[in-house]
Structure 1
Amino acid sequence: MLFFFTLSLQAQFQINGIVKESASNQALAFATITTNNGINSITDVDGKFAVISKTPITFFTVSYIGYTKIKTDVQKNTGFYTISLTQKTDHLNEVVINPENAALSIITKTIALKDNNNPQKRLPHFAYKTYNKLIVSANPDSISGQIDSIIVRRTKKGIYYKIDSTNYKFKNTVNTRHLFQTEKISQFQFTDNTLKETILGTKMAGLKQPLYEILSFNLQSFSIYDTKYELFETKYISPIADNAPEEYHYKLLDTVTINGRNSYMVYFKNKKKSKSKGLEGVLYIDQNSYAVAKATLRIRGLLNITSNHEFEYFPEENIWFPVHKNFRIIKGKNDDDIRIFGGTIQFDGDVDDFKSRKKQPSDYIYLRSESHNFDIEKNKNTVLKNPYFAVEIEQNAFDKEESFWNSYRKDSIDIRSKKTYSELDSIALRKKIASRVRLGKKIINGYLPIGFFDMDLRKIFSYNNYEGFRLGLGGVTNERLSKNFRIEGYYAYGTKDGTFKGSIGAAVRMDKEANSWLGFAYTDDVREIASTTFSTEKKPFKIYDPRPINISTFYNYVSWKSYFETKKIPKTESIWELTHSEIEPKFDYAFLHKEKLYTAYTMTTAMVSIQWSPFSDFMQTPTDRIETEKRFPKFSFQYSQTLGRLWGNDFNFSKFDFKTEYEKKYLNGQKTSLLFQAGYALGDVPLTHLYNTSPNNITKENILKRITFGGKNSFETMFFNEFFSNKYAFFQFKHAFNRVTLFQKVKPSLVLVTRAAWGNLDHPEQHAGLDFKTLNDGFFESGIELNQIFNGLGLTTFFRYGPNQLPRFEDNIAIKLSYVLNLGF
C-alpha cells in the first residue's frame, strides 16, 4: 500500500489507513478523520488517509454524512487500518441542482459574499513573506521489491531474475536523497490591486545559477477566490466562481471546527463524467461569514494532482487569510507518456487492450511543493517598487548563507534534504550539469555553444528557388567572452546563384537590467521582395523553414546599420535603427520615379519597432526581463521613414506597420487564435518594399504538383507575386481542437482556419517588369489542418473563394504538408 506523500521525518506518531463502504467495498473519498488530540483530516480520492502528530494518538473517529460514525482505538504495532462504514437508512444522497439542497445553499451564499471574504478585494494593502520548498522524489517504502530485478528466463522449476543495475541505483538513490530540490524565500506585497513577489533568496540543488523558468512556474493559484483556478499551468472553473453551480455537483459532508470556528465541509465534483475534465474536492466554509477556511482540490487524469489551501482567522478584520498551501503531483493512469521538468514519465494503459508492463522507477516519482506564509501585515500602505514586474529577483538572492535559510525554514532541514544538496552539487560539478543545462537552453533558442561562440543553427542550411541550397556558418559571441560586449555575423553561399553573402556586427551593453544594447552591423545579403517583418518579433527556432522553398524573387541589399535595442519601457521591447542601403532587385524590374527608371537605388531610413504586452506578467532577473505569463492581446508597432537626401537617398516614403495577436485557451483544452495585421506606405515606394501579404502557392497546372509545405500565417492558395499593395489589412482566425486518437500512434490535431485580406496600390504604373493584381476586392481562403497525424507529419487543405476566385475549380484548391518537430525540450 502506498503511504501518503507528506510523511515527515520529524513526526513521532502516525496512523495510516483506508475508508471503505461496507456494502460495496468501494473507497469513500473525503471521509472525516478526527483524532483524540483534535487533529482533523480527510481521506483522499482513493479513500486513503495519513495523520501525523507530535503527541500520542490513542483513538480516532471516522465519519461521513449518511453513514454511521466509527471510533477506532489505536493498537500498538499497528500502522495501517481498514475502516468500513455502514450506510444509514436515512442517508443523504448526492444531489443535483436543487434550491432546497443544503450544500447548494451554502455555496450560493459563499459566492454572493466572496468579494467580502477575498483578501485581495477586502484589504486595500497587505504584505507577507513566504518560504517555499519544492522537491521531486520517490517514497522508498512504496517502491516494489522487484523493481531492481528483471526476468531472465522461465523454466519448469521457476522464474529466474537478475539485478537491473539502473533500477537498483534508483532505489538506493531515493533511499538517501531526493531527485531534485529547490527552496525560495519571497516577500509578497499587495497594493492598488497588484500583487508583486520579490524573491529574497533561492537555491536549487546542483545549480549555482537557478533556472528562472522553474522560479516562474505556476503550480497553483494564489487565491481560491480566483474565477479560474490554476493547477499546473492549466485553468479550471473555480468551485465558487459565479457560474460554478452550472459546472459542479455539491454535497454536504460534515461540520468541523477550524481555528475555534464552526465550518461546513462541502464536497464538490465536476458534472462531466470524465475525471480529467474538471476539479473535485472539499471546501471548508465558515458557518458565520461563509468564507473559505480551508480547501482541497484534486484532478485525476494524466496526472493525479492535489492542491491544499489553509487559512488563519483574524478576528479584528473578520477575515480568513492564507497561511499555508501545498501541491502534489503523482502519476495517473494513461497510455501516453508525459514530461515533467524534462523527465519522461511512463503510464500503464487505461484502454482495454493495453498490456500492463513491469514497473519502472518513474512510476514512483512524485512532485511536492509546500509554502508557508509568515510576517503577515494587513492594511499597511506600502509603495511598490517597479509594480509592472509580477516577480523581481534581488541581486544577491543566489548567494545566501546557510544562516539565512535556517532563520526562515518552517522546520529544520532533514538528513535526506541535506544530502540532496551535497550530493547533487557534487554530481553537478562532476557531470557538468550547469554546462548541459546551458547547452539545452541555447539549443532551444537555435544556438550551439562552442567555447565563447554560439553557432547559429539557422544559418547552416536552407533552400529557396533563387539561391538553391544556401550553406553557411554564423553566430554570436557569448558571456564567456564578455557579458557586456558581443560580436556577431554569418557567411553563406548559394549553390544556384553562385554568390557569397554575409554580415558582421558588434554591440555593447548599455543597461544590464533592461538588457539594452547599442550596436552596428554591415550586411551584404538577399531578401524576399515585399515581405513584412517586425524587428522585435522573435521567430521560434526551426531546423527547417519550408515556406521559402518556392520563392524566386529577391533583392540584394548592402547596408550599414546602427541600432539600439532595449526593454527599458515597462512591458515592451523596442529596437531603434538607422540604416543606409544599396538596393538591387535580382529579377526583371524597374521603378519609374520622376520620369526616370530605377533598376537599383539607394535608401537611408530610420526605423523604430516596438512590441507591447500590456497584460502579460514579467520577471526582472539580475540580468534580464523575462515574460513569465504570456497574456493577450499583444501589440506590435513599426514605423520606417526615409531621410530625405541624406547619403544620396533616391526616394522619400513612410511606412506604418501594426500587428495584434490574441489567443484564448478553453478549459476543455481547445484554443482560438486571432491575428490582425495592417500596413500603410506613403510616398514613392518601390515594389521591393511594398506588401505581398505572404503568399505560399506555386504556379503549376496540376494540384498534386503544387503540394509543398504549408506556412504558419501565409495564404496557401495565393500564388507568389500575384498581388502587391501599398496599404493592406490581413485577418486570420484559427480554432484548434483537442487531438483525436484514431489509432495508437495516429492522433491528429484538427485546426479550422480562415484568412482574409484587403488592399490597394497607388500608382501601379510606376512598377514595370512583373504582372500583378491589387487586393481592392479582397482575398479569402478557408481550410482544415490535420497536424501531427503521424510522427509530426500532417496534411492541410485550403480553398480559395470570393471575388478573386479562379475560373478553374481545381486552381482554387491547395494541398500542403505540415510538420511539427518536437525536440523534447
Structure 2
Amino acid sequence: MNKIFSLIFLFCFSFVFSQSTLSVFRADNHKPIKGAKIYCNNQYITETDEKGVATFTTKCSKVDVEINGFIGDEVVVDKIMELELDRQNAKTHEIEGVVLSNESDPRALAIIDKVFRNFKDNSPNALDSYSYKSYEKMSYDVDEDSIREYRKFIDAREDSLSKLPNREFAQKDKKKKDSIEGEQMMSVIKDSKMFLWERAMQFLYSKKYGEKVNILDNRISGLKNPVYEMLALRSNRDKIPREILPENRSLYRYFLTDSIEIDGRENFVIRFRQVDYKVPVNRRKYNGYLYIDKETYAIKKIESNSKVRTDGSITSVWIPIQNKWFLKTENLKIKMGSSEFSTVKKKDNETAEEKKERLSKTKRFGNYAYMKADYFDFQTPVELKASQFSGYTMGVQNADGTLLDQYRTDSLTTREKQTYVKIDSLGKKYTLDSKVKVLTALLRGKFTVGLVDIDPLQTKYNRYEGFRLGAGFKMNERFNRYISPDVYLAYGFKDRGWKYGAGIDFRTTLERNSFFRIEYFHDVAASGRFSQNLWNMKMSINNTGMSIQNDKYYKYDGFRAGYEIDLSNSLTLNVSAKRQTEEAGFDYRFMNQSGQFTTFSSLATIKFSPNSKNIMTPSGKYTFDQNFPEVYFNYEQGYKTLGGDFNYSRLDVLYTHQFRTILGNTGTRVYGGYYLGEAPIWHAFEMGGLDSNKNTGILSNFNFTTYLGFATMTAGKYFNDKFAGYFITHRIPWYFKSFGKNTSSFDFIYKGVIGNMKNPEYHQFEFSPLDHLYQEVGLEYNNFLSSRFNLGFFYRVGHYANNNFKDNFAVQLKLKLLEF
C-alpha cells in the first residue's frame, strides 16, 4: 500500500510541478509578443522574452496572460503551449482590414482526413490489452475570477437587507419560499461551489475479453446516493473528437499555420475557427488549435475556445504509449448563464427609461461548468483474467467517497471542501436525491413520483381505438428492492373500451438483470405485429406509428408467467408461457368460424448485443451506450393443451447494424418471420403499412416514421405467414448549414419486403399476400432547417408502383432523438 501511495505522490509531483513553455504571438501577424505577463490565480509568475517565450512551473491548471494594448486570455497548462492575442482597440483591426478567409486550407483538410482515417489504428484499442486509471472533478460555480467580488457583493446585500424593519415578502407562498431558498443559496456559495462531483475509475481492455470500467469511487455534493446514469457519462476518451468528424467540417474553417516539436516529436499546428464569423473584432481570430503528430497523424492536443473569451474553452491532451495514443488530460470551462441581482425593483408598467436604469443597476456574475480529468497508471500489455470482465461493462466498486484520496491528482481547495459540507446539508434539507431520481427516470422513458414510476406510453392514437388515454404505474426500488408490482389502465374513445392489466416482478439478485414475472391483461392489439420483445425505449417509441393506421385489431384477455435473465453483458434470455382468449375486433372469420378463440403458448426471446455497454443500477440494468450489431430472435409455440385451440409455430428475427466507411455512414436492418400451423390472422405478419389509403386532404400522404414500416404501403392490407425484409440507409458525406448551429445532411434510404401466404382461404376478410418484392426509396433531410427533426420523402417503385404519382409518394417526419 505504501508503494502505491508513493507512486501516486510521484506522479502528482511530476505532473503539478513539471516545466511548461508558453509562446505568445500577435493574432494579426503571428509576431512574438515581448513582456506578456503570466499569472496563476492573480499571482505573477513570469513574462515572455524577446521571442515571445516564457518557461515556468506552476500548480495551476490554467494561467492568465496579460499585456497592455492586447485583449488578455487564458490557456490550459501543458508542457508546450501557444497563445495568440488580439489588439485591444477594435478600430485598429478595422484599419488593418483583417478579414479572415472563408475557405479552409486544403493542406489542413488533407491532414485532418488522415487523422480521421488513422484514428482507429492510433487508438489504444488497437493494442492487445491495457489498463489505466482516471480521476475526474466536475463542478458548477461562479467565475473563479469573480469570487472575491461576489463575496463582497453578497455581504453588502445581506447587511442592507438585515437593516430593513420587519422585513416581509409580499409574494404568494410559493414565491416567498423560492425567494428564501434563493437567498440561502446565494449565501452558501460565498464560500462553496454550487455543485461538485468527483469520480475515480479503472479502465481494462482485452481483445479477448472486451472492455471493463470499474468505478473505484464516486461522490456528488448534495446527494447521498450515487447517480448511476451520471456515472456512465463519457468524455473524449474513446470517441473521435467532434472537430475531426467529417459531418462537422462545415462548422469550421481550418488553416495549417505552423509546426512545433513536443517531447521530441514534430507536430503540425492547425488552427480552426467557427464558420459564422469573418472579422475578429474584439474576438479571437481562431476558435482553437489542433496539434497533429507528423509521424502517426494522431491527435496530440485539441484546444477549442468560444468566440468570446469569457464563454469558455475545452482542452484535451494525448500521449503516445507503445505508439498508440492515450488521453492524458482534459480541461473544460463552459459558461452556463449568469446570476443577476438588481438593486432596483421592477415596476408593473415601467417606461423604457426606467427599464434602462434598472438594467444598468443590475449586477451580473457568470456561472460556469468546470471539468478536469487526469488519466494515469498506464500499463500495456497487461495480464488480465476472464473473471475481471464478469458482469456488465461498468461496475461500481465503491461510491461513498471514502477512497477518493487514493486517486486525487490534486487536493481539494478550501472552497471545494466546503461544497461537500454546505451542499450536502442543503441536499438533505431539500431531498435532492428524490428530485434527481425524477430526472434520471426520464432517461428510461418514465416519470417518478415517490415510490411509483409512471409510464405515459399507454396514451396513444390508432384507427381502432381512436384516442387512447391511459398510463402505467409501477412500484420502484424505493418500495422494495426485490418485489415490484404494477398496473395499467387505459380507455379508447372510439371503441369505447376499457383496457387494463396488472403484474408483479420478483428479482432474484441485485447484481444483474434476473427476475420472474406474472401478469394479467385485458387489452387490444393490431393484427400481425412484428415482435418488439427486449427492444429499448428509443426503438419502441420509433415504432409506435406501426399500429396507427392498421384497423385490423383483436381483443385478448389472459395470464402470462415468465423469467428474464442476462446471461452475460451481451446476451439476454426471456422465456414465458401464456394462456389467453382472443376475438377479432373487425369483420373476420377463421376457417368459417368466428367468436372467441383460446390459445396456450410458450415464447423464448434472445437478444444479442456484443458491443453495447451496460451498468446495473437500483432501478435495473441501464444501457448507456447502444452499439451495433444487434440481433433479436423470438420463437413462439402454440399447443392444443390447457384449453388451447391451435398448434402453431411462429418465429421472427431482426438483425441491425451500423458502420462507417470513407463513403459515409451506412445502416442496415434485415428482418423476417415464419409461421407454421393453423391460427387466426393476427398470429401471421402484417407487412408494416403506414398509409391509411384514405383521402384526407393535404395530410393523406403524410405519416410519422417507424422502425420497420413503409411510408407508401396501405396499412392492414398485406398479410403473410412468411416474409423477409430489409432496410438500408446511407448518409451522403456532404454536410452543410442552413440556419442555427446544427449541421444538416441527407440520407438515402432503400426498403424492400417480400412474402407469401400458404392458405389465404383460411382467413375470411379482405387482404392480399405480398408475393412480389415491395420497394420504396427515400431521401431524408436530417436536422431539417437546423431543427431537431428529420424530414423524409419516399416513393414506391417496382412491381407495386402505379401511374398515379400521389399514390406512390409519401412524406415522413422523424424526431432526431430517435436516431437510426
**TM-score, normalised by the number of residues in structure 1:** 0.71
| Distance in 1 separating the partners of 2:530 and 2:703 | 20
Alpha-carbon contact 1:167-1:360 (below 8 Å) kept: no
Aligned partner of 2:374 among 371, 384, 402: 371
Q: Deviations over 1:432-451 (max 9, x none)?
A: 22111111222443433344
Alpha-carbon contact 2:577-2:601 (below 8 Å) kept: yes
| Distance in 1 separating the partners of 2:463 and 2:125 | 59
Q: 1:699 maps to what in 2?
A: 693
Paired-residue identity, %:
21
Q: How does 1:634-649 map to 2 (within 5 A)?
A: 634-643=630-639, 645-649=640-644
Amino acid at match of 1:617: K
| Offset, 1:480 | 2.2
Q: 1:347 maps to what in 2?
A: none
| Distance in 1 separating the partners of 2:530 and 2:385 | 43
| Offset, 1:543 | 12
| Offset, 1:586 | 1.6
Q: 2:801 maps to what in 1?
A: 805
Q: 2:250 maps to what in 1?
A: none
| Distance in 2 separating the partners of 1:821 and 1:264 | 41
| Distance in 1 separating the partners of 2:55 and 2:644 | 92
Alpha-carbon contact 1:250-1:269 (below 8 Å) kept: yes
CA 127–724 in structure 1, closer or farther in 2 if over 3 Å, else same: closer
SS at match of 1:176: coil
Q: 1:19 maps to what in 2?
A: 24
CA 625–370 in structure 1, closer or farther in 2 if over 3 Å, else same: same
Alpha-carbon contact 2:317-2:329 (below 8 Å) kept: yes
CA 134–809 in structure 1, closer or farther in 2 if over 3 Å, else same: closer
Aligned partner of 2:610 among 589, 611, 614: 614
Alpha-carbon contact 2:21-2:55 (below 8 Å) kept: no
Q: 1:626 maps to what in 2?
A: 622
Q: Deviations over 1:260-296 (max 9, x none)?
A: xx443542357997899x996454869xx98989644
CA 237–709 in structure 1, closer or farther in 2 if over 3 Å, else same: closer
Q: How does 1:773-784 map to 2 (within 5 A)?
A: 773-784=768-779
Alpha-carbon contact 2:118-2:297 (below 8 Å) kept: no
Q: 1:591 maps to what in 2?
A: 590
Q: Deviations over 1:329-388 (max 9, x none)?
A: 4359xxxx99xxxxxxxxxxxxxxxxxx999969652432221424x5555523253526
CA 788–430 in structure 1, closer or farther in 2 if over 3 Å, else same: farther
Q: How does 1:392-541 map to 2 (within 5 A)?
A: 392-395=394-397, 397-401=398-402, 404-459=403-458, 461-540=459-538
| Offset, 1:140 | 3.5
CA 71–597 in structure 1, closer or farther in 2 if over 3 Å, else same: closer
SS at match of 2:770: coil
Q: 1:132 maps to what in 2?
A: 136
Q: 1:345 maps to what in 2?
A: none
Q: How does 1:680-699 map to 2 (within 5 A)?
A: 680-699=674-693
SS at match of 2:269: strand
CA 179–754 in structure 1, closer or farther in 2 if over 3 Å, else same: farther
Q: 2:67 maps to what in 1?
A: 81
Q: 2:191 maps to what in 1?
A: 176
Alpha-carbon contact 1:578-1:605 (below 8 Å) kept: yes
| Distance in 2 separating the partners of 1:612 and 1:495 | 39
| Distance in 1 separating the partners of 2:184 and 2:29 | 35
CA 454–620 in structure 1, closer or farther in 2 if over 3 Å, else same: closer
CA 451–126 in structure 1, closer or farther in 2 if over 3 Å, else same: closer
> Is 2:217 the partner of 1:201?
yes
Q: 1:243 maps to what in 2?
A: none
Q: 1:716 maps to what in 2?
A: 711
Alpha-carbon contact 1:785-1:795 (below 8 Å) kept: yes
Amino acid at match of 1:679: G
CA 169–743 in structure 1, closer or farther in 2 if over 3 Å, else same: farther
CA 667–808 in structure 1, closer or farther in 2 if over 3 Å, else same: closer
User: Alignment RMSD, CA only?
Assistant: 5.4
Q: 1:307 maps to what in 2?
A: 315
| Distance in 2 separating the partners of 1:623 and 1:779 | 43
SS at match of 2:376: strand
Q: How does 1:178-327 map to 2 (within 5 A)?
A: 178-192=193-207, 194-221=210-237, 229-230=240-241, 236=245, 252-255=258-261, 258=263, 262-269=264-271, 281=289, 283=291, 295-298=301-304, 305-309=313-317, 311=319, 324-327=328-331
SS at match of 1:420: helix
Aligned partner of 2:650 among 648, 655, 662: 655
| Distance in 1 separating the partners of 2:810 and 2:65 | 68
| Distance in 1 separating the partners of 2:506 and 2:736 | 50
| Distance in 2 separating the partners of 1:306 and 1:746 | 19
SS at match of 1:435: helix
Alpha-carbon contact 1:14-1:51 (below 8 Å) kept: no
| Distance in 1 separating the partners of 2:421 and 2:662 | 42
| Distance in 2 separating the partners of 1:325 and 1:521 | 51
Amino acid at match of 1:394: V
SS at match of 1:417: helix
| Distance in 1 separating the partners of 2:422 and 2:207 | 45
| Offset, 1:412 | 2.5
Amino acid at match of 1:504: A
CA 311–685 in structure 1, closer or farther in 2 if over 3 Å, else same: same
SS at match of 1:648: coil
| Distance in 1 separating the partners of 2:623 and 2:244 | 19
Q: Which structure has greater helix proportion?
A: 2
| Distance in 1 separating the partners of 2:365 and 2:21 | 24
**TM-score, normalised by the number of residues in structure 2:** 0.71
Amino acid at match of 1:212: Y
Q: Deviations over 1:471-501 (max 9, x none)?
A: 3343211122211011112233333333332
| Distance in 2 separating the partners of 1:130 and 1:526 | 51
| Distance in 2 separating the partners of 1:53 and 1:574 | 57
SS at match of 1:416: helix
> Is 2:682 the partner of 1:678?
no
CA 733–145 in structure 1, closer or farther in 2 if over 3 Å, else same: farther
> Is 2:723 the partner of 1:728?
yes
| Offset, 1:741 | 6.4
CA 424–79 in structure 1, closer or farther in 2 if over 3 Å, else same: same
Alpha-carbon contact 2:135-2:407 (below 8 Å) kept: yes
| Distance in 1 separating the partners of 2:610 and 2:706 | 25
Greater mean alpha carbon deviation, residues 613-622 or residues 522-531: 613-622
Alpha-carbon contact 1:526-1:557 (below 8 Å) kept: yes
Q: Deviations over 1:698-732 (max 9, x none)?
A: 23246536255423232222112221111112222
CA 280–792 in structure 1, closer or farther in 2 if over 3 Å, else same: closer
| Distance in 1 separating the partners of 2:300 and 2:203 | 21
SS at match of 1:776: coil
Q: 1:562 maps to what in 2?
A: 561
Q: Deviations over 1:131-178 (max 9, x none)?
A: 3222233433258989999xxxxxxxxxxxxxxx99999987765333
| Distance in 1 separating the partners of 2:24 and 2:271 | 19
Bigger relative CO (Cα 8 Å, ≥ 6 apart): 2
Alpha-carbon contact 1:571-1:618 (below 8 Å) kept: no
| Offset, 1:552 | 2.3
Paired residues, what number?
705
| Distance in 1 separating the partners of 2:55 and 2:491 | 83
| Offset, 1:636 | 1.1
Q: Deviations over 1:397-425 (max 9, x none)?
A: 12343xx3334323331111112222221
CA 420–775 in structure 1, closer or farther in 2 if over 3 Å, else same: same
Amino acid at match of 1:566: I
Q: How does 1:58-77 map to 2 (within 5 A)?
A: 60-61=48-49, 63=51
